[in-house]
Amino acid sequence: MKVSELRVGAVEYFVGRDGVAAVWTDRAGATGHAALGATTRFLSRVENLRDELRDTMALARGRVPRLREFSEDWGRELLPEKLLADELDVLVIVPHALLHDVPLHLVRTGAGGEPLGAVVGITYASSRSLFVRCAGRNPARARDPADWVLDAAPVGSDGPGSLIGGGADVLTGDHEPFRSLAESLSGLFEPDRVSVFEAGWPYSRSAVKAAFRREPFDAVCVVAHGYTDPDNHRMSGLLVELDTVGISSRAIPLHGGRYFDFRDLPLRRLPPGLRLASPTEILTTAELEVDGHVETQLVVLLACSAGWGRVVQGDEPASLAESFLHIGAPSVLAPMWDSDREPTSEWAHQFFEAWVDRGYPKALAARHAMTHMQTGRYADHPERLGALALKGDWL
């Protein structure tokens, strides 16, 4: 099958005071509308589900009754029946208000009880305008879809072939497993177009930012722990190693071609209560918004809850993943809640194998990963099966 033959649809939600509604676009471009139920019917259920997904101990022990109830029962009420009957290949989901961060890809809709994400390739976009901006900057859209054939070896094509990445586990102090995860993903790319941060050097704020400032790579992978500030989302960020090599400097251009150098210090101190095993600093969302610009096909944030954030003014979900979409990334792959390293690694490897080796668009690569996980040992563990989700452009 060619990419130009894929059946693509979309669903956009609206949550009002009285009810929840959805407008969908089918594969032929026709639109439809459905009233899904009273807002009060979903409000407490969604809030209880969200609370459960923020409970790290419940997730680690697999005690997620609300997530199971959502995926096996009432979650289907949020999906228009006519949309499910359209037999799509790709579905763009645009949530609204309380539906942001709700894992609709885990709702079991398949004939054999498979989750939606294993039936159709899914990407989330927080608004239609953001999706259009992500698609407009995606280098993959420069390819001719009539010549883009699925399951064909992309050797010699303009498909993804380069990756830059690194990792740091500041909670245990053993950085090698995180760095090795980034290195193992790099094995699918062209050997001379891979750059993985070397062991023995701190994977610091300056190192991560330097990766985004380098010449464009097809994929940028960061494996680290994340921190979510409950009061100010712009002070949330990635927990990385303290730069013991020396504080780097940044140059501000002045009038007359002159520059002013300043010390590149973190924008915030470490929050109290974190149990850290190695010297740590935070690369904050605010710093990324001010200091960063991304030119890549995909940013992979294998960091705790990097895809989750509270909704702020203007129906804007505040998260690390959203920040990367706003500074130039057309697509971001990130967990919606805390996930163990082992299922995260397996999911990510399946995704990259489909995206790089098989030439799948990113949403179909996500479907491939979900299908693999659904048929394996995580089939009865939705908290591990569906933590990772694609945001932004699907191609």
pTM of the model: 0.92
Joined together, the tokens standing for residue 124 give 């989330």
**Within a domain: residue 141?**
no
Q: Assign residue 372 the CATH number of its domain.
A: 3.40.50
Question: Same domain, yes or no, for 167 and 265?
Answer: yes
**Within a domain: residue 270?**
yes
**Within a domain: residue 139?**
no
Distance CA 12, CA 25 (A): 9
Question: Same domain, yes or no, for 284 and 346?
Answer: yes
Burial (CB count <10 Å: 0-12, 13-18, 19+), residue 317: buried
pLDDT at res. 110: 81
- How many domains are contained in the chain? 2
Residue after which a domain boundary falls, among 77, 95, 130: 130
pLDDT at res. 144: 84
Nearest to 7 by CA among 27, 33, 30, 23: 27
pLDDT at res. 246: 66
Q: Interior CA angle at 129 toward 125 and 130, to 5°? A: 45
CB-based contact 197:185 (threshold 8 Å): no
Question: Same domain, yes or no, for 202 and 116?
Answer: no
pLDDT at res. 79: 96
H or E segment at 133?
A: helix 128-136
**Within a domain: residue 325?**
yes
Q: Which residues contact 341 (CB under 8 A, 6 or more apart)?
A: 177, 178, 181
Backbone angles phi, psi at 384, to 5 degrees: -100, -35
**Within a domain: residue 216?**
yes
pLDDT at res. 155: 47
Question: Same domain, yes or no, for 63 and 157?
Answer: no
pLDDT at res. 9: 96
Question: Same domain, yes or no, for 343 and 311?
Answer: yes
Each of the 395 residues of the chain gets a pLDDT tens digit; together they read 889 999 999 999 999 999 999 999 999 999 999 999 999 999 999 999 999 999 989 999 999 999 999 999 999 999 999 888 888 999 999 999 999 989 999 999 988 889 999 999 999 999 999 999 999 999 999 888 888 888 875 544 567 889 999 999 999 999 999 999 999 998 888 888 899 988 778 899 988 888 887 778 899 999 998 887 877 878 888 999 998 776 677 677 787 888 877 778 888 999 888 889 999 999 988 888 776 678 899 999 998 767 676 676 666 666 888 888 888 899 999 999 988 889 999 999 999 999 999 999 999 999 999 999 998 899 899 999 999 999 999 99
**Within a domain: residue 318?**
yes
Query: What is the residue type of 84?
Result: L
Nearest to 219 by CA among 290, 142, 165, 273: 165
Question: Same domain, yes or no, for 237 and 92?
Answer: no
Question: Same domain, yes or no, for 120 and 217?
Answer: no
Angle between helices 65-72 and 39-53 (to 10 degrees): 140
Q: Which residues of 173-206 are buried (b: 16+ CB within 10 A; e: fewer)?
A: eebeebbebbbebbebbeeeebbbbeeeebbbbb
**Within a domain: residue 144?**
no
CB-based contact 116:107 (threshold 8 Å): yes
Question: Same domain, yes or no, for 122 and 167?
Answer: no
Beta strand segments in the chain, E: 8-15, 19-25, 31-38, 90-94, 121-124, 163-167, 194-196, 219-227, 237-241, 249-253, 259-263, 280-284, 298-303, 311-312, 316-317, 331-335, 388-392
Question: Same domain, yes or no, for 339 and 232?
Answer: yes
**Within a domain: residue 199?**
yes
Question: Same domain, yes or no, for 157 and 107?
Answer: no
Distance CA 380, CA 386 (A): 11
Residue after which a domain boundary falls, among 98, 130, 162: 130
State whether residue 317 is helix, strand or coil: strand
Q: Residue 120 is part of which domain span?
A: 3-130
Burial (CB count <10 Å: 0-12, 13-18, 19+), residue 157: middle
Question: Same domain, yes or no, for 209 and 340?
Answer: yes
Nearest to 212 by CA among 201, 221, 225: 221
H or E segment at 41?
A: helix 39-53
Question: Same domain, yes or no, for 125 and 157?
Answer: no
